[in-house]
């Protein structure tokens, strides 16, 4: 592409040739010929530019708001060239330090480098597109956009969550299995759990007299609660969770709430079963540990708003994996018309159900206002059935960390 400066010089060269021919002015003719030859040389130097791009990024398993150190370097094997390069960023990524662009004169056996820090304020799977490179001759008369091959760069950003703590007490099963197992929750079983101070409601048979003598205060024994405990998270990433602008979309709050619910179940000694709602139900089950944690967090990060799978269908197809009396957390910013039927099925299975509704942005059209109306009717119906509905993100944290929910 010839710049405005290049076109001006080209015009001047043509005029000089014309004037030289008309006036037999040798100097003007020579200047015009030299100008055209110089322009052709500049075109050739740009079109044969051998520019390569090398990119770097710290692309480990990342959480939201984790700084990502990134950059790229330009090098060439041909002559001196003026180069401008820029790394385009996908929606949601923010440069917090440095510059994602560089410009200067590129010389053989040297390089131009850009270094910058990216922060990602939302979970997701992100791909960095190719670096955009534009070259020009040393005098910026001819410019050309280059298609430069570069290694693909992708990274997964998982939802914010608390650092996991190993549950105390005897190891236990972490997936639903027939029969009872020993939970790490204190209760009325026969397996010793801990010693604590006496409470007025404690029976005297629990008093630990040796510990009482040592502490000079009444102490009692606690025992493992020998019962099956399962937390089921129904995680809504259906089409309506893309409501509003990308960064503010409710799907991100759903992912954060699900991550906290997972951590809360693990720290509370429960097993965890995830049921993702999108185009179709997707079940997440496994033994607690790093591999299963990574699998859960990756699934939450890669969720995209899609489909309209009813809760009733998902529950019916996954009923074999939901224990009777399980603790069920439904994370959904917009309940669909028939979702209450699925919740009624869970109640009939003697499950305790809590519906957590992340905050919504304001509706921007009539369709979104209708979605909100249907949702409000469902919430009203569920509350009439004594289902606990929490309509604040704070409730997500309180529930997940086992502190109880206050509306």
How many whole angstroms separate alpha carbon 75 and alpha carbon 114?
12
Percent of the chain surpassing pLDDT 90: 19
Sheet with 124-128: list strands edge to edge: 62-63, 153-158, 124-128
How many whole angstroms separate alpha carbon 149 and alpha carbon 169?
54
Q: Tokens for 388? A: 């606990």
**Homologous superfamily of domain range 230-400:** von Willebrand factor, type A domain (3.40.50.410)
Determine contact, residues 277/235, Cβ cutoff 8 Å: yes
- pTM, entire model: 0.68
| Residue 307: per-residue pLDDT | 92
Q: Which of 64-68, 142-146, 371-375 has the lowest mean pLDDT?
A: 142-146
Residue 282 belongs to what H/E stretch? Answer: strand 281-284
- List, for residues 154-181, the tens digit of each pLDDT value: 888 888 765 444 443 333 333 344 344 4
- List, for residues 307-366, the tens digit of each pLDDT value: 999 999 999 999 888 988 899 999 998 888 888 899 999 999 889 999 988 777 777 788
Domain residue limits, the chain: 4-47, 51-158, 186-224, 230-400
Determine contact, residues 264/400, Cβ cutoff 8 Å: yes
How many whole angstroms separate alpha carbon 82 and alpha carbon 323?
67
Q: How far does CA 36 lie from the centroid of its chain?
A: 55
Determine contact, residues 174/290, Cβ cutoff 8 Å: no
CATH 3.30.360.10 fits 51-158, yes or no: no
How many whole angstroms separate alpha carbon 355 and alpha carbon 383?
10
């Amino acid at each position: 592409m010839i710049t405005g400066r290049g076109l001006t010089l080209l015009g001047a060269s043509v005029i000089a040739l014309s004037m030289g021919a008309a006036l037999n002015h040798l100097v003007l003719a020579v200047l015009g010929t030299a100008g055209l030859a110089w322009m052709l040389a500049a075109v050739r130097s740009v079109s044969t530019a051998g520019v390569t791009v090398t990119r770097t990024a710290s692309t480990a398993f990342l959480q939201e708001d984790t700084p990502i150190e990134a950059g790229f370097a330009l090098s060439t094997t041909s002559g001196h060239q003026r180069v401008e390069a820029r790394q385009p960023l996908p929606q949601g990524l923010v440069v917090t330090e440095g510059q994602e662009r560089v410009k200067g004169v590129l010389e053989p056996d040297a390089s131009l480098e850009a270094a910058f820090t990216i922060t990602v304020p939302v979970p997701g799977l992100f791909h960095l597109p190719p670096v955009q490179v534009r070259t020009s001759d040393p005098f910026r008369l001819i410019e050309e956009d280059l298609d430069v091959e570069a290694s693909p760069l992708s990274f997964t950003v998982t939802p914010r969550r608390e650092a996991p703590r190993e549950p105390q007490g005897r190891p236990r099963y972490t997936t639903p299995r027939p029969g009872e197992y020993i939970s790490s929750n204190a209760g009325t079983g026969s397996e010793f759990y801990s010693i604590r101070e006496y409470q007025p409601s404690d029976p005297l048979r629990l008093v630990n007299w040796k510990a009482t003598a040592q502490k000079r205060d009444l102490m009692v024994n606690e025992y493992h609660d020998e019962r099956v405990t399962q937390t089921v998270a129904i995680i809504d990433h259906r089409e309506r969770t893309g409501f509003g602008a990308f960064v503010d979309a409710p799907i991100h709050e759903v992912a954060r709430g699900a991550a906290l619910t997972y951590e809360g179940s693990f720290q509370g000694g429960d097993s965890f079963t995830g049921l993702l709602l999108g185009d179709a139900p997707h079940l997440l089950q496994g033994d607690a540990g790093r591999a299963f944690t990574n699998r859960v967090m990756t699934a939450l990060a890669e969720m995209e708003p899609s489909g309209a799978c009813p809760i009733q269908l998902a529950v019916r197809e996954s009923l074999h994996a939901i224990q009777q009396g399980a603790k069920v957390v439904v994370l959904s910013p917009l309940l669909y018309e028939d979702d209450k039927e699925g919740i009624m099925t869970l109640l009939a299975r003697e499950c305790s159900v809590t519906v957590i509704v992340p905050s919504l942005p304001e509706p921007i059209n009539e369709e979104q206002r209708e979605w909100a109306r249907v949702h409000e009717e469902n919430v009203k119906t569920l509350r009439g059935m004594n289902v606990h509905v929490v309509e604040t993100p704070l409730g997500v944290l309180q529930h997940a960390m086992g502190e109880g929910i206050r509306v």
